[in-house]
Amino acid sequence: MGENPGGIMPEARTDLLFAGPPELALARFEEALAARTADLGLRMTPPHPAPEDALLLLTGGGLALRIDFHPAPLPAEAFAGALEGPLSRAFAGVLSDTLARHDCRLTVQVTVQVSEGRTARGAGAFATEPSGSGSQEGDSQEGAAAGIPPAPAPEEPAALLRRLRLLHAATAILAERHMPGAVFWQQSNQLLTGAQYLSISRTSTPWALFAQARITTLHPEPGEDGATRHALELKEAAQFIGRPVGFRPTPHPPEELHAAALSFLRHAVESGSPIPDGHSFGPRGGRPYRVRHLPAGPQAPRGRIELSVIGSGEDGAPAPDRTARRSGATGSGGNGPGGGHRAAALPPLAPPEEERTRSLAIGILMLAVLPPVGALLMLSNALFGSDSRRTGLLATAALGGAILLGALTFLGMPGEETASLADLPAPPLLSASAAAAD
């Protein structure tokens, strides 16, 4: 399902599994869907005449959304591999029990309406071959000789993303209204508990749902030194950008690899082009990753995009001291094709710059705590130059003096007496009342 063999358009369908038929609640579904998908620019309305064999059918924007009820369970073989992803593995026991007990299901399907003169798929930047693989015509001839069918143009990434987001929105509404035991997301072959799906229903674009991470863990042999290594593959990335994305075995945590691969995929789809071969990406101040576009091979007939951690010895490059990256795969926004992705190494901060930064920080802090002292420190920095040690000593002495002065004020200075309420004269009104009483 998720591997998209032969370039077939991936099926956008979910099955909500129940143990016992649910009480259907489809009233005002069209309005709820419009509210969740307002940013997609879709206007989904029932066709006329409406089909009699569907619970609900909505069309609009070249898409058709259909909801059906099936009073029978899915066969066990339909879930092959659906419990292997990181979203499912933690709940494998609960999900296995749900699969055994479910006896009916609601299905949601979003399809592309194909009309005359219009194709459901388009070419585009994502149909290009990886760098270093030769011409497309030559590769096609070699692939044909090897028995590999020619690669058809995948569905445009933006169109596929819109279709999956519409499916997710419709499934989320049904899950909130009917509380299924599990939700089977067929596009990436993932099975989630109903509670899991409700937890991600607030996210309009759950990339972890659109691309299942296949994680392989390699443990060292008994008596062998070395750390446990993890490899990761996003096969569903081929549905969006024509090639899978992954990491070779590495000792880095699989959660980190998963987040980086999903960030790369999201950036590629949202910016309109994958990060070029040899470039790098990563969050500001975080770990950078190298991008390699590998040619087609026996394990990857269409090529593969391989990511590696810079400086780990896996990409053949030393770790930079400091790396400043423009908005990349894990940042907001996106850069155009071919630019703004290469990591630029910056030299470490020079000692004078560090001194100025520390001294300025201490001065600003003292401005908030003791404004006169803070002003004095800022003035001394301007007149005599930045010196974090001098500034720190002055600030500590001033703060200690202020605390000592406050303590002496609270306890009273030596040689002075503190008046008590008994020594104070009575208020005039109280004295007059007492005299009248006498």
How many Å apart are CA 160 and CA 233, to the nearest integer?
A: 20
If you average pLDDT over residues 397-414, what whole number do you get?
Answer: 70
**C-alpha angle 224-227-229 in degrees, rounded to nearest 5:** 115
Say which DSSP state 221 is in: P
Strands 213-218 and 304-309: unpaired
The mean-pLDDT minimum among 221-225, 240-244, 334-338, 403-407 falls in 334-338
284: pLDDT strictly greater than 90: no
122: pLDDT strictly greater than 60: no
Q: pLDDT, tens digit, for every residue of 165-180?
A: 999 999 999 999 999 9
**Alpha-helical segments (H) within 37-185:** 86-89, 92-101, 136-145, 157-178
Contact indicator for 168, 206 with CB cutoff of 8 Å: yes
Q: Which residue has the higher pLDDT, 132 or 83?
A: 83
In the β-sheet with 63-70, what is the strand arrangement from edge to edge?
A: 56-60, 63-70, 104-112, 12-18, 182-185, 190-193
Provide the 10 A C-beta neighbour count for residue 244: 25
Strands 229-234 and 12-18: unpaired
377: pLDDT strictly greater than 90: no
Q: pLDDT, tens digit, for every residue of 314-362?
A: 655 444 433 333 334 443 333 333 333 444 332 333 344 445 555 656 6
406: pLDDT strictly greater than 60: yes
Using DSSP, state whether 218 is helix, strand or coil.
strand
Model pTM score: 0.64
Centroid of chain to Cα 114: 33
121: pLDDT strictly greater than 50: no
